[in-house]
Amino acid sequence: MAHLGSPPRGTLSVVKPTIQSVVAGIALTCLAGCYSGTRATRGVNASWHGRSRAAIEARWGKATVAEVPGGATLTWTRVSHHVELPSVSGDLRIGAGSFDARLAATPGRVWNTATDVVATVDAAGRIVEVAGPSVWLGKGPPRDVNLRWGALFGVHAGMGALEDASRPWPSLGLYIGGMLGPRLGLVGNYAFVNGRGTDGNAMGHAWSVAVQYWPQPRLWLRAGPAMVVALDPGLVDAQLLPGVATGASLALVRGRVFVLDLRLDTIVAPGSAFGSLGVGVNVN
């Protein structure tokens, strides 16, 4: 008899190093090619070309306006405060018949720096250029633009079932990763699915590496290879299997980086299939 959440002897020795390798691989990939910083800033700035002055001010807030020939500039400024604490350093030297001591003090200081993002609009009020670190200032693209950047994280809870234990039972899942492009991400995903059948509870665990793609701003699709641990009803006969994990999410509430979604996860392996449907929270 296998205990709750306990794969057979020898399974953990395979699973743990594999999970660590997967997480390290995803982290290295995202650090090397994550769509963020300068790359994401270029995408956000370009997404405003041709939009109206009213639209960008509705999204970013009121700007400081300066009239220029043929149009105007709109400027958003972020002021950063910096503090340097006072410091004291000393030097003491003692030799034969000599003694030398020095003490130096450096006063602290406080200063501010300003960073600007500037949009240039033509005489008709249409944006012709946006320049400056918009992402760093927390400024995003128009709401209808399918673009995201940086880290990805999500967790969901809901009801799950297995093919041999089809009565829904509480289940959960989570993922973490990063964006490789404005609509494509790479994530490591974990699914923990329970179901109840006539012979008792069954359980499925799946660890996967997957690509996550947004065909529309409120919809993502995910698929990738998985490592599966499946336990039959009664929590017996645990098996370690290769498989495929897929998922889909529909955003119910979408902010600039926060999403509340309806999410479906499915996992298929030789002789085993399970999945869950639930509500999740995401940062992407």
Both 69 and 176 in one domain: the answer is no
Residue with tokens 């494509």: 184
pLDDT of residue 131: 97
Two tokens at 94?
Answer: 């003692």
Both 29 and 159 in one domain: the answer is yes
Both 162 and 133 in one domain: the answer is no
pLDDT of residue 25: 53
Q: Which of 113, 139, 165 lies at the terminal end of a domain, its last residue?
A: 139
Both 194 and 124 in one domain: the answer is no
Q: pTM of the predicted model, to two decimals?
A: 0.78
Residue 113: give the domain boundaries. Answer: 52-139
Spell out a b/e string for 54-76, using b for 16 or more CB atoms within 10 Å of the CB, else e: ebbeeebeebeeeeeeebbbbeb
Both 165 and 253 in one domain: the answer is yes
Per DSSP, 132 falls in state S
φ/ψ of residue 12, rounded to 5: -60, -35
Both 155 and 220 in one domain: the answer is yes
Both 113 and 31 in one domain: the answer is no
pLDDT of residue 27: 54
On whether residue 45 sits in a domain, the answer given is: no
> Which parts of the chain have pLDDT scores under 50?
1-17, 32
Q: What is the CATH number of the domain that holds 21?
A: 2.40.160.20
pLDDT of residue 24: 54
Domain count of the fold of the chain: 2
Both 128 and 164 in one domain: the answer is no
148, 144, 226: which is closest to 181 by C-alpha?
Answer: 148
Two tokens at 160?
Answer: 């799950």
Two tokens at 272?
Answer: 């085993």
